[in-house]
Amino acid sequence: MTKGGKDLDRSATHLLHRAGQCAAEIFSSEARTTGLTPRQFAVLMVIADEEGLTQTGLVERTGIDRSTLADIVARLLGRGLIQRRRAKEDARAYAIKLTPQGARALREAQPGAAAADQKLLANLPPAKRQDFLDTLNLIVTAIRK
């Protein structure tokens, strides 16, 4: 491998990006019958946990940028998985909730998502799996502040 390639093997930014690509591929393979992407699944999970959130709330909870989230919401609306209503506290914003089809899609995707997580973590020694998740959470939490 060239020196440049070795440098990439030590780049946190590059390795996190590659790990994210691997995770998305595994998720797509495991949850393929649902047609959901990992980000769509995450959005549905948050909506299920906190029904009535606005898109701003979804941005805050998921870390997905506003324009990407707007596209995800449009796609989920188009598939009939979510619905929007004007928020009571801010008439300019929309409160989002799952439709029955959205709740079903989420239930159907959960085993595939869990299998994807298991496949990803299976590459680590069992004793390091929780440390890995804790480290990722530490990075995300520190950067969000």
pLDDT tens, 65-86?
999 999 999 999 999 999 998 8
Q: Is residue 131 part of a domain?
A: yes
**CA–CA distance, 24 with 64 (Å, rounded to integer):** 15
Q: What residues make up the domain containing 126?
A: 35-144
Q: Is residue 17 part of a domain?
A: no
Q: Specify the pTM.
A: 0.86
Q: Is residue 41 part of a domain?
A: yes
Q: Is residue 24 part of a domain?
A: no
Domains: count for the chain: 1
In the prediction, which pLDDT does 1 show?
Answer: 44
User: Residue 41: which residues within 8 A CB-CB, separation 6 or more?
Assistant: 27, 31, 34, 106, 109, 113
pLDDT tens digit sequence for 83-119: 998 877 777 788 899 999 999 999 999 999 999 999 9
Q: How many helices (H) and strands (E) does the chain have?
A: 7, 2
Give the CA count within 13 Å in the CB-facing half-sphere of 90: 10
Q: Is residue 3 part of a domain?
A: no
CATH of the domain at 46: 1.10.10.10
Q: Is residue 13 part of a domain?
A: no
Q: Is residue 107 part of a domain?
A: yes
Q: Is residue 28 part of a domain?
A: no
